[in-house]
Amino acid sequence: MRFGHFDDEHREYVITQPDTPLPWINYLGSEDYFGLISNTAGGYSFYRDARLRRLTRYRYNNVPFDNGGRYIYVRDNASGAFWSPSWQPTRTALDTYECRHGMGYTTISSSKDGIATESRYFVPIGENLEIWQFTVTNQRETEADLSIFSLIEFCLWDANDDATNYQRNFNIGQVEIEDEVIYHKTEYRERRDHVAYFACSEPLAGYDTQREDFLGAYRGWDDPAAVADGVSRNSEALGWAPIGSHHVKLTLAPGESRRIVFVLGYHENPKDAKFDPPGSQRVNKITVKPVIDRYLRPEEVETAFAELAAYWDGILGVYQVQSPDPDTDRMVNVWNAYQCMVTFNMSRSASFYESGIGRGLGFRDSNQDLLGFVHQVPERARRRTLDLAATQLETGGAYHQYQPLTKRGNDAVGGGFNDDPAWLILGVAAYIKETGDWSILDEPVTYDSKPGSEQPLYEHLQRSVTYTLDRLGPHGLPLIGRADWNDCLNLNIFSAEPGESFQVAPLAKDGTVAESVFIAGLFCLAARELADIAEHRGLADEVTRYLAEADKMEATVWEHGWDGAWFRRAYDAFRRPIGAASCNEGQIFIEPQGICIMAGLGLNDGRAVQTLDSVGERLATEHGILLQQPAFSDYQLRLGEISSYPPGFKENASVFCHTNPWIMIAEAIVGRGDLAYDYYKRINPSTREAISEVHRCEPYVYCQTIAGRDTPKHGEAKNSWLSGTAAWNYVAITQWILGIRPAYDGLEIAPVIPADWDGFTATRIFRGVTYTIEVERAGPGNAVALAVDGKPVAGNVVPLSPDGVDAATVSVTLGAG
């Protein structure tokens, strides 16, 4: 069952009924100012840090789930009837409804009783504000006398404090109202130098800024007294709960349309010029006013919207494909790329499943997010890479997260995840392959953000390798520490304390025994990548060293990490294997299978294929590949959080989507295009659109987890949007199945597509050259014959074009010879 459809031409998902199984959301903003917006206009906004600079309030664990947002009420003054054109919060039945989520904007249109409205929400490029462009049309044959009320609820900035510290918060709220603008200035009188503002383009019939005055006692967003009466209270919030609501009265002739622009924004003043006049307590509005005035003008709004579209044309234009499969095309060309931008921006901080309170930018997460983002805005990828590296510790280890506002490592969320440092190598490698910018390796970068500790980025990569080698366990495999990629495999924690966080609980064991085969595989992959980098730098000794270390680790994996038909997962604190046929539960895990084959293990002796066959037999389901089997049926101290989840959920044997592309890539590496693509399609959100009543999450973005077969909820998705799934699926389909991948010295072309595809066409902008790539199947198999602008090229790498060339056609004959 579907709740909407894709509009590929406009790059939109069109939701045609408001009561989707879960809120289906979109993101506004792409640099500093961000908003989350649902298909019923729910959600909130923040500036840079979802916790510390929250502009509007989000109520956690709300009922209904999606309540509170960017609301507009329409009131028919003749009858007194009022409704929400976005359906929520009044949930009045609408005659028509449509929500279009697009690239950085959302448009909700509806009509009721002959009054049609359209609300378009977006953030202009480069601005710290969002625009609500509201159009109302009288489709009746008689004049319409209408009241329009806007509504937002301000957050008192720190979202965590806002949700908990009422004894203070009910006393600090402050606003100013000047012209048609409501300024939210809580704490501005003291240590803040920022305000939020909410402006309206039309003369006001009234306004409200105090929630209880607007709503009336004991009333909710669905039935505000001011709207019911058609009269704003002109309330001025002092304490309690500041809101922003404008009231505009309109009389519309039959057929007449009117446009109202609302602007919600964030503004900072210099510390020494906060007040105007100086010495007063009034917000200095000198620099913000021109910005507000500009964006209240409809023509400026149109220009800004056109700029947004052009921005996305540019970003998405870097990689476009026309294949025989629409699910592939729309994900590659639009939605998967879009989600990669969102994960790059948000890491795992703010979604409808991530509160925006607890999590900064993850070291591991952000490095992986780069893999799907680096081609979009390479300069931002560069900055992020350097920011991440600057928090690395002198040991080569990493804080698990850093806070975007301070850019410092965050101790409070734990460390000692022993896989973390290796991801930095993969992120940097992806950046250099995309850009050819080797200079990044010479950038001086601090350790632990300490001035004076700067060393070239290259040294950070060296220390990442050393970090693993310095921490080997009894079998010579890497010690797992607190956990590895699987945050829930806590082999040293032994937590028996209710509510204790597995992320920060003290280690009960000294950590010198439990080992990770996954980190071993990741190490081989990263060390071999670093050897390639060293080779390009002419560092022959280092090449030898990294290759030798990788080979040694590989030998250890074969000796102690191979179970006979697949790779083991780990050894626990008692040296017992995890992910082995001899285990009762957790016999086979997906992670080491994918990562070891990506690192090149078993490619020459059939063991990679044997491993993938085991995955197919034991882990693959119609809804994707399970993380492990059989699920753990009880909580086990020696395993930690993984066994805390009921069987089939999250790390305990769901389809943990992030890991599925590793298997797709591995299948592509062993040359099995049909299987790689089959796995790709099983979790492709567009493919799953047809079963939206089962999947329940948005059909246009990946989710983190799909319930596994050990639960009756098999197939139900959760945690949409913010997951490494976005970047890795993007890599799997674009670089390994379609096979167009940046390499240090050119663009590698090695498609491993389904046998029944005749070919495909793609455009890839790479190092300033637009390549049109035409792939044609001449026979079975994956052998590639290349011609660039008609001239045959040996091998499968399109060499870098000479300077001055900005376009080339690459003809690829597949399965030839």
Residues annotated as catalytic are 487
Among 106, 385, 486, 725, interactor with ligand NOJ by CB under 6 A: 486
Residue 156 three-state SS: strand
| Residue 333 partner contact from ligand NOJ, ligand BGC, none using kind-dependent CB cut-offs of 5 to 8 Å | none
Q: Minimum distance from CB of 627 to ligand NOJ (Å)? A: 9
CA–CA dist 752, 672 (Å, integer): 7
8 Å CB contact between 181 and 290: no
Which of 245/366 has CB closer to ligand NOJ?
366
Q: Binding string to ligand NOJ for residues 636 to 665, with x set by CB under 6 A, is what? A: ---------------x--------------
Q: Does 12 bind ligand BGC (CB under 6 A)?
A: no
Q: What ranges in 557-688 are assigned the alpha helix state H?
A: 590-598, 607-618, 660-669, 673-683, 685-688
Check binding of 487 to ligand BGC (CB under 6 A): yes
CA-based angle 140:143:147, to the nearest 5? 100
**Using CA atoms, how far apart are residues 754 and 734, in angstroms rounded to an integer?**
14
513, 473 contact by CB (below 8 A): yes
3-state helix, strand, coil in the chain (%, to 5): 30, 25, 45
Q: Name which of ligand NOJ, ligand BGC, none residue 640 binds, using a CB cut-off of 5 to 8 Å depending on partner kind.
A: none
Q: Is 703 in the site for ligand BGC (CB under 6 A)?
A: no
DSSP 593-605: HHHHHHTTTTSSS
Residues between 317 and 356 with contacts to ligand NOJ, criterion CB under 6 A: 348
Residue 503 binds to ligand BGC (criterion: CB under 6 A): yes
Judged by beta carbon distances under 5 to 8 A according to partner kind, the member of ligand NOJ, ligand BGC, none in contact with residue 364 is ligand NOJ
Q: Interface residues for ligand NOJ in 771-790 (CB under 6 A)?
A: none
* Shortest distance in whole angstroms from residue 483 CB to ligand NOJ: 7
Strand partners, 157: 54
Give me the residues paired with residue 135 across strands.
118, 259
Which of 325, 354 has the CB closer to ligand BGC? 354
Amino acid identity for residue 495 in this structure: S
Instruction: Pick the binder of ligand NOJ from 185, 364, 460, 696 (CB under 6 A).
Output: 364
Q: Of ligand BGC, ligand NOJ, none, which one sits near residue 503, judging by CB under 5 to 8 A according to partner kind?
A: ligand BGC
C-beta of residue 4 within 8 angstroms of C-beta of residue 15: yes
User: Using CA atoms, how far apart are residues 805 and 263, in angstroms rounded to an integer?
Assistant: 44
DSSP H helical ranges for 232-335: 288-295, 298-316, 326-330
Q: Based on the shown chain and the rule CB under 6 A, indicate whether residue 651 belongs to the binding site for ligand BGC.
A: yes
410 binds ligand BGC (CB under 6 A): no
- The correct pick among 650, 658, 696, 777 for binding ligand BGC (CB under 6 A) is 650
The three-class DSSP label of residue 342 is helix
The answer to whether residues 800 and 746 touch, using CB atoms and an 8 Å cutoff, is yes
Q: Single out the segment in contact with ligand NOJ by CB under 6 A; choices: 112-120, 179-187, 373-381, 482-490.
A: 482-490
Per rule CB under 6 A, is residue 362 in the interface with ligand NOJ?
yes
Kindly tell me which residue out of 487, 572, 698, 748 binds ligand NOJ, with binding defined by CB under 6 A. Answer: 487
Compute how many residues bind ligand NOJ; rule: CB under 6 A: 9
Task: Please identify the residue of the shown chain whose CB is closest to the bound ligand BGC.
Answer: 487
| Neighbouring C-beta atoms of residue 60, cutoff 10 Å | 9
**What is the CA angle 138-142-143, rounded to 5?**
65
Residue 362 binds: one of ligand NOJ, ligand BGC, none (C-beta under 5 to 8 A by kind)? ligand NOJ
Cβ(642)–Cβ(486) below 8 Å: yes
- Residue 181: CB minimum distance to ligand BGC, A: 40
Residue 486 binds which of ligand BGC, ligand NOJ, none (CB < 5-8 A, kind-dependent) = ligand NOJ
Q: Which region, left, alpha or beta, applies to residue 550 given φ > 0 means left and ψ of -120 to 50 means alpha? A: alpha
CB of 430 to ligand NOJ, least distance (A): 17
Q: Which residues bind ligand BGC (CB under 6 A)?
A: 487-488, 503, 641, 650-651
